[in-house]
Amino acid sequence: MHCRKLFNSLFLLFAAVAQISADSITFKDYLINEILQWKPDVVKASNDIKDEIIERKSFLDYYNAGVESYLANDWESCIENIERSIELFKDYYETLTFCHISCEFKRRVHKPWYKWDFEQRQFFEEFLIKTACIENCRRQQLKDIPKWFVLGLEFKSKFMKREHYNYLNICYYKRNNYQMAASTAYTALIGDVTNTLARQNLEFYMEKGNLVVKDLVDLQAKQFSLPYVKGLESYKQEKYISAIEHFENALITFIREVDQCRSFCDDGEQLKNNLPDYYMITANAYLFNLRCKLNCTMRTQVVRGLYYTDIMPSIYEHLQHSYFKTNDNLNAVKAALSFLLFSPHEEYMRENVEKYFKLPEITGKNLKARAEAEEFYYRNHYELKMLNKIDEKFNAI
């Protein structure tokens, strides 16, 4: 009953300030101040308000609370807060990358407002269209995050390198949970292979808990890795139809995860500088962003704790043979051509392609690599070439 009175009162409060523009910088501050100044009739209602405010804390708040609990030797609270921080950061990451990717599609299909392009104004027109789209998406999808929230470079690096697991593994160890202590240390080590403390802790926990390698779990495992491993297993068992299904799933998921990583490079605080003009500031920010994006393929190619350099060609190589074994030569040759984009000097695959083109159902057809393979390869190739040229010619930037 008291809770109902509280919610009714809050509803009236929201109605009273409804005429204030939601775009106003002072809107949320005004609202929060009014809620805090409002005195409920009973103590219970006051606690309900406090709980509601606590529930709206960001992943950074929970992370900081977890670190404070760690320093205070409050191991249970440390686990609770950092686990909650990880969960909320994952939601933030998924939502933000969804906004950026969906708004990139909107930018691509945008029709120019004016048919003539003066001084590359159409480029900036698309840029502004995407910016407005992302801002609207953020407001709709991240209602618990303050409008002007900016994820700083320091904290962004911490979460991407999984540094929060450095605290978490010790907190689990202090609670005598060797399985989770080992897995969280293992997860931290995958995030940063130079993390010697995580490596030492992992070895200690495994010995203390009589654990073996198969007991370890990467708690931040890439989603593509599961269908990829299942595809390898089916392939070895010569279950080629199943292998095709798993590898195609792994391919779609891998590309999506790379694109998510790339789009997250656009979010948060960018490189600070005191450069003298608009063009140098823009170029510097673009290069900072580009370097981040070029690292995404490498950072995504993790399977069972190991980093690989050839996930895309590996998938196409297995797809080529699997399609061939199921008498689908058209898809087999497309997979072979896609493989050769990434590994052009593999003679055995070139021979396979020559044999495919001699088949009656293939002869005379103008076939090429799959569309997603071409886009992925040429995008990376172009960006890397651009970065090398800029490093060569404009080191002063």
- Residues 57-69 have pLDDT tens digits of 889 999 999 999 9
Domain extents for the chain? 2-55, 59-157, 161-215, 225-393
**pLDDT for 115:** 78
Residue 120: alpha-carbon gap to chain centroid = 31
**pLDDT for 106:** 87
Question: HSE (CB half, 13 Å, CA atoms) of 343?
Answer: 17
* Arithmetic mean of pLDDT over the chain: 83
Q: What confidence tens digit (pLDDT) does each residue in 255-265 have?
A: 999 999 999 99
**pLDDT for 4:** 38
Q: What count of residues does the chain have?
A: 397
CA distances from 190 to 67, 86, 145 (A): 21, 16, 29
Helix (H, G, I), strand (E, B) or coil at 112: coil
**124: burial class by Cβ within 10 Å (0-12, 13-18, 19+)?**
exposed
Residue 161: which of 190, 135, 139, 121 has the closest Cα? 190
Task: Please give the model's pTM, rounded to 2 decimal places.
Answer: 0.80
271 or 277, which is more confident? 277
